[in-house]
Amino acid sequence: MSEILCACARYVRSHIISSDYEGCVTLWDVDTQATVNEYEAHDKRIWSVDYSTADPLLFVSGSDDGFIKVALPRLLHSCLPPASVATCKLSKNGAALC
């Protein structure tokens, strides 16, 4: 595993998501201190991850590969902005704000 660049906590369950230099998003269980799942979300480092306040299963990530990925754990959706993405947040309605 690569160094963690960003982490975000989810309060519905005891989960944290983190991003790394390798383009992976990792879902962690705080109680068991174990990895729940890893997602190969991007081709380059991920600078930012965030959970949705409206839907606790939804998260967003932004990367040097120029993609913004809005994801449910089993589905990844993306859009292509003009440059690398340094910061991503999800609005209350689930829209990506990068």
Q: What is the CATH number of the domain that holds 34?
A: 2.40.10
Is residue 6 within 8 A of residue 26, CB to CB? The reply is no
The CA distance from 70 to 50, in Å, is 10
The domain in which residue 73 lies consists of 4-97
How many domains, the chain?
1
The CA distance from 86 to 98, in Å, is 8
More confident residue, 11 or 52: 52
Q: What is the pTM of this model?
A: 0.69
Where residue 84 falls among pLDDT bands split at 50, 70, 90?
low
Range with the poorest average pLDDT among 35-44, 49-58, 71-80: 71-80
Rounded to an integer, the average pLDDT of 26-51 is 87
CB atoms within 10 A of CB 38: 15
- Contact residues for 8 (Cβ-Cβ < 8 A; gap 6+): 16, 17, 18, 49, 50, 51, 59
- pLDDT of residue 79 exceeding 50, the answer is no
